[in-house]
Structure 1
């Protein structure tokens, strides 16, 4: 969308220019109107003025980040100029005292240049690909610094400090320009008189230029600017994750409200007596709109656009056929003229998209002569042969019967507004403008197919599954609680467009039928958690099968009477290992978050029944899990051995080898302070692990190890011995790190009952407390490691959590 600012600038004489500043350079067309005829200046002056205005336009359209690139590229130019001066001064005896000043200036600028480069890299990390970051640093004047996608992501990262960032880099740019002017750096970046002969001729001027005091103010502004930007970059980057969540939550709330209004507006306008129901498919589009606190809700709502596929009947009552039209809905506008532009390129990306909206941009400001709102919609899948722009008058027709409008839509131009539908509540009336997009054709040409039917389609590739998962997850979360989705999302409720018999995996819909049957409105049930079933839907998508076919008969053997969602949770939980192997860690994390968000088993009213049922099920012969090494690491007294014993009851064919089986034999021989004590422990540990790793008698055993290894070099070496043994046995090492609040850890460690079975356990608080406060537990740091806070968990609960984690990672495919 053309986002225009209007500047009025007095030119030479009495000629006045109205300059429209646009991000698109081709749209710059100043108009000249003389106040009085015959007072126009000569052509040379006019040309110069237009050139100046063009530079002004270019400057005004820059983002702060683009200016940062200019500053980054300008500092080396100033350094080069100073270097030229220093080279010239080398031949002049009287000027050699100034070389020290020049070296200081050069070093200061180089330091700030490196700091600014680091700031830009930090801001770009996670926003732009690494290859692009390198390219941007190499070419600070390049086009990548003007990319709208990067700017929008940076806008979210900087949050409310965008304007401060812009002001800071602009101040730095002015300081750089000030130095360049004083150093006589030309437009081409070269020093105009750096040769020694020229400097000799202009002795006094050179003396003035090279005085450090003349540049101190500019250097201070640059240093202060870089320092401020560094703080902004660090603090804003640290807070970005939480801000993204708030931004998306705010956007989802706005989209959710508008979708509810659209549904009720459709329901009120689709009350026809047709022989068949109208199918209305709402297309899912992932959100790409950046929402920051400065954005006004009304402005965001005006940008929201939704694509719907609507079916209707044509022909006589005897011989009817179902046809499909695609329409666009957006919030009603009160402006005098509404223009909708559709681009001809299929893959064109616009500057802003939001929720289920097709790509759009922001409305323009009002000019002095007319009030015009321009909405450019670069629809991601709309193909037109020409660029069309249509305008509608102020009064929009209220569509009382959308069915009749569908019948005549084929006669309208693509992008033309057909009128508006509205939803009247007790407090306000919401209007939604309806625009025609295209006639999709008959059911034989275009239709919607349930996702459940295409899960096993060979054409559904891994990349398609990931894109579908993203669109579906974003979409149903925005629609949660609206009539567009049921109380639980299922694969049969998501639809894929089919055109000419070919599935269009990039076109995803939810489907509703009108006129609506009031009996189909189901209330949200607390026994059907929304997020749980979203996670199950994602599992079905990545594994290519429905949960019913993936579920094992053993799930059904849980205690009778358990609710359906408990059984579904157990079935989904067993599949997480396959999700990890098929979809990767990112997909796995998303699915696990969905499953866990609604399922707090330990706090459920079914806790005891579930634990009993799960214990019985897991005590059966091994069904899915492969042998593995479970390495439980934690501070002394945290409860490692107690948890390990509970875990042994849940893991079939498992054995425990706790760390005191290695410590106590050595303690019985020598004191811990004796020379060679640690070498003896290391030798015993490696001997035992080698036997476990190589013995045929233990090859089918899952070993549970406990340890208390800190993050020191010695601690890491001991932990790595277990990893090496797992590698030798060719099994997985599953690391479990236990954490606990210090006071609770000490309470457990000093419990008198703790020393009854093992005498060498640490129970002295004066020794333990410094360890807990100063030392860190060793972590492998891999994505399969489980860090579990057991402060408020019983040993049984902790063992269940570990068992779930082991199941996911050691499950047979």
Structure 2
């Protein structure tokens, strides 16, 4: 039984003890020789009433900021539904809220529960904390009550143990005050913990984006023009769902190298090649301690960190990347690409049970030509993956402001939601600047593009398939506002099609409705609002669907 389940049990037990003490006081008042103990039990009763208030306040302080309905809050605090306290999501939320105070809080709750049960046994209460003279309907059996208090042994025992009651009460008060202090301390530190988490996430995100950009630059430098193979080289970056706890870990990337269509009917010089990337910072010891760090991006197989460094010293230098990939060994190390600011140690990746990569198809192609529809799990997984990609790769060459589902592809026959990639061609095509008129109504293009992608995934058709005359100008031509007008209309109808979180997140992306004055993901406050307003609700849907399918 978890600490939070016990918290609900204690919430229900304390009022029962208070009621039992009231019954004791009433019973003592009817027996003249026992009236001298009335004051003792009145003190116990008043103390337990205070204990109940302090403990309930602590529980309410913990629960109030959480996203709970009035009915849920009532069940937890008033109805004392212990089953409501067993919710894994509630336990996780409370554990995060308590932080480092979680374990002492849990221990104190368990100790408090034991002492309240001991107090009930000392009062000779039943297991349900009812006095032995009460009836099953809650009434008093006067004869049984008089017999109980007139029993000489009970009278002697009650008088002899009155001091022990007070000692046990004092110990219970200490536990409750400790629980209240732990709760108040955790709540007071919550803003500081949130600030530290945001700072750590900001540093991680900045580092991740820098490393992703340097990786792109490394490919672009070597494939900025057609090499002798006369093919368009493609780097397909796998999009994974990033977790908060990864902020303290090295950035990792997985890619698959493929080709565009070869010229003059030539065959591609090598087969699609999967690799894995780990980014490692290297400190230049010849510079002062305050000098900037130079990143080293390492591409390696799925092995322990120490293993893939063993071949670094003997790894060959890569002069021609295409030729190196063409002649790469079947296992592990390919070689090292050296640049001015970074090194790239390349290893092949051999994922277990990997299917052969026999074709490349974009999500847009699946929707447009194949009429693809997505199951709920695929839809929630893909939505969260794309939102995570926007959060981590915005303002990098991997993800342009006006990206769409043509940039997202799969490379095999495996399940779509398991293998989404973002594809970039080298040499890179020139980017089209965003229309200035469009920017007047669309506050953040890359987030709007995410909203459009979520709409297309939901409706199973490209946005332009829903155009009406009202979306065009007087001559029937598209304008800078056409996409927005279509997206606005489709977003309104999404609530009857999708889970609420999916619909809300999509509408926020289309309208950039984050209650902010700055709309750049480079701004810490706006980025946090995007995270809470889009990624968090999409993750809730994803976790719900995954847990439902698993059961």
Query: TM-score band (shorter)?
Result: 0.5 to 0.7
- Note if contact 1:323-1:441 (Cα within 8 Å) is conserved in structure 2: no
Deviation at 1:320, TM superposition (A): 6.1
TM-score by length of 1: 0.42
State the partner residue of 1:364.
Answer: none
- Unaligned 5+ residue runs, structure 1? 1-61, 291-298, 335-376, 378-387, 413-417, 599-813
Task: Provide the rounded CA distance (Å) in 2 between the counterparts of 1:289 and 1:301.
Answer: 9
Deviation at 1:490, TM superposition (A): 1.5
- Note if contact 1:555-1:571 (Cα within 8 Å) is conserved in structure 2: yes
Deviation at 1:541, TM superposition (A): 2.6
State the partner residue of 2:100.
Answer: 163
Deviation at 1:437, TM superposition (A): 2.2
Deviation at 1:475, TM superposition (A): 1.5
Task: Provide the rounded CA distance (Å) in 2 between the counterparts of 1:408 and 1:504.
Answer: 28
Residue 138 of structure 1 pairs with residue 43 of structure 2: no
Residue 219 of structure 1 pairs with residue 173 of structure 2: yes
Task: Evaluate the alpha carbon distance shift between residue 249 and residue 439 of structure 1 in structure 2; reply closer, same or farther with a 3 A threshold.
Answer: same
RMSD: 5.7
Task: Evaluate the alpha carbon distance shift between residue 545 and residue 394 of structure 1 in structure 2; reply closer, same or farther with a 3 A threshold.
Answer: closer
Task: Evaluate the alpha carbon distance shift between residue 236 and residue 563 of structure 1 in structure 2; reply closer, same or farther with a 3 A threshold.
Answer: farther
Q: Deviations over 1:30-49 (max 9, x none)?
A: xxxxxxxxxxxxxxxxxxxx
Task: Provide the rounded CA distance (Å) in 2 between the counterparts of 1:209 and 1:435.
Answer: 69
Task: Provide the rounded CA distance (Å) in 1 between the counterparts of 2:186 and 2:217.
Answer: 45
Residue 329 of structure 1 pairs with residue 238 of structure 2: no
Q: Deviations over 1:666-706 (max 9, x none)?
A: xxxxxxxxxxxxxxxxxxxxxxxxxxxxxxxxxxxxxxxxx
Q: Deviations over 1:65-104 (max 9, x none)?
A: x545445445767888899999999799658534434444
Residue 566 of structure 1 pairs with residue 481 of structure 2: yes
Task: Evaluate the alpha carbon distance shift between residue 453 and residue 247 of structure 1 in structure 2; reply closer, same or farther with a 3 A threshold.
Answer: farther
Residue 305 of structure 1 pairs with residue 242 of structure 2: no
State the partner residue of 1:280.
Answer: 235
TM-score by length of 2: 0.58
Task: Evaluate the alpha carbon distance shift between residue 327 and residue 73 of structure 1 in structure 2; reply closer, same or farther with a 3 A threshold.
Answer: farther
Task: Provide the rounded CA distance (Å) in 1 between the counterparts of 2:116 and 2:470.
Answer: 77
Task: Provide the rounded CA distance (Å) in 1 between the counterparts of 2:276 and 2:241.
Answer: 16
Task: Evaluate the alpha carbon distance shift between residue 70 and residue 584 of structure 1 in structure 2; reply closer, same or farther with a 3 A threshold.
Answer: closer
Q: Deviations over 1:449-507 (max 9, x none)?
A: 1111112556523624344333223313421211112331112111134417xx62443
State the partner residue of 1:27.
Answer: none
- Note if contact 1:280-1:511 (Cα within 8 Å) is conserved in structure 2: yes
1:122-521 equivalent positions in 2, closer than 5 A: 122=64, 125=67, 138=82, 153-154=93-94, 158=97, 162-163=99-100, 206-211=161-166, 215-216=169-170, 218-219=172-173, 222-223=176-177, 225-226=179-180, 229=183, 252-266=205-219, 274=229, 276-289=231-244, 300-311=247-258, 323-332=271-280, 392=307, 395=310, 397=312, 400-401=317-318, 404=324, 410-411=330-331, 418=333, 436-438=350-352, 440-444=354-358, 447-455=359-367, 457=370, 460-461=373-374, 463=376, 464-499=378-413, 504-513=416-425, 516-517=426-427, 520=429
Q: How many residues align?
A: 440
- Note if contact 1:330-1:432 (Cα within 8 Å) is conserved in structure 2: no
Task: Evaluate the alpha carbon distance shift between residue 405 and residue 182 of structure 1 in structure 2; reply closer, same or farther with a 3 A threshold.
Answer: farther
Q: Deviations over 1:3-57 (max 9, x none)?
A: xxxxxxxxxxxxxxxxxxxxxxxxxxxxxxxxxxxxxxxxxxxxxxxxxxxxxxx
Q: Deviations over 1:321-343 (max 9, x none)?
A: 86444443333389xxxxxxxxx
Residue 534 of structure 1 pairs with residue 534 of structure 2: no
- Tell me the SS of whatever aligns to 2:399: coil
State the partner residue of 2:533.
Answer: none
Task: Evaluate the alpha carbon distance shift between residue 524 and residue 172 of structure 1 in structure 2; reply closer, same or farther with a 3 A threshold.
Answer: farther
Larger relative contact order (CA 8 Å, sep ≥ 6) = 2
Deviation at 1:263, TM superposition (A): 2.8
- Tell me the SS of whatever aligns to 2:99: helix
Structure showing greater Rg:
1
Task: Evaluate the alpha carbon distance shift between residue 289 and residue 537 of structure 1 in structure 2; reply closer, same or farther with a 3 A threshold.
Answer: same
Task: Evaluate the alpha carbon distance shift between residue 88 and residue 215 of structure 1 in structure 2; reply closer, same or farther with a 3 A threshold.
Answer: closer
- Note if contact 1:309-1:327 (Cα within 8 Å) is conserved in structure 2: yes
- Structure 1 or 2: more strand by fraction: 1
State the partner residue of 1:671.
Answer: none
Deviation at 1:222, TM superposition (A): 1.1
State the partner residue of 1:383.
Answer: none
Task: Provide the rounded CA distance (Å) in 2 between the counterparts of 1:197 and 1:434.
Answer: 86
